[in-house]
Amino acid sequence: MERKELIERIVDELGEKAIPRLIELLKKEEDPETWELIADALIAIGQKGQDALYEEFVASITPTPVKNDPYPLTLASALAEVRDERLKRHLPELMEYYDELGQMFIYDIMVELGVYDDSLVDVVGYHLLDPSSQSENVELAVVVLAKMASEKSLDYLIRAYSEFSSRENPSMIALILEGIYQAVVKNPHLEEKLRTYENAEEILERLRALLGERE
């Protein structure tokens, strides 16, 4: 039985009684994808499961976070998706213990929680356009800017589209187009802004093609 099936079976059969077993599994596992599955399962159980996940997150950074440890960030990301306000108090401390990639994950958490200002758009945009940025940082920057869904974040995505088009990087172009699409879906007012760019028709045509492939 695969891990996902095992976790689903535990939840279906035990409900809230599965929480201790899931936390035990969470502590033993070393695979980030499995952490995500278990975290999602705990949240799906309800408030008690979410509380248990938050407590495990706190335990994982006590007394201080382990430098660049992906485990607490994975738990925090799951909690951020359900807008767990308790995370806010921990974000400043977390920033001190992670490299650029880890900080990008923290920026993503901040955006999910709505605890950021306009200056963060520039920080994330810098990582997106910096030629020295690692590919993982660039990919996550696209995701974060798309979630911000502001005119300024759209500006960075459009600039990135032009930049990576000149480099002939098809996979990154596809990711950026997806980011533009997600930003417009989240904030429909951006469609009007999108049409003002010099390469708007090209981008819109490629977005239509992207959507057509999904039908």
pLDDT of 209 reads 87
| For the chain, domain boundaries | 1-115, 117-215
Q: What's the confidence (pLDDT) of residue 36? A: 95
> Distance from first CA to last CA of the chain, Å, rounded?
33
**pTM for the full model?**
0.91
In this prediction, the residues of the chain whose per-residue pLDDT falls under 70 are 1, 3, 213-215
Residues 190 and 184 sit within 8 Å (Cβ to Cβ): yes
What is the pLDDT at residue 215?
Answer: 60
Cβ neighbours around 58 below 10 Å, total:
14
- What residue spans of 46-130 are helical by DSSP H? 47-60, 70-81, 91-95, 100-113, 119-129
**Residue 171 CB neighbour total at 10 angstroms:** 10
Q: Looking at residue 147, what is its pLDDT? A: 98
* DSSP character at residue 82: T
Residue labelled with tokens 């995701």? 143
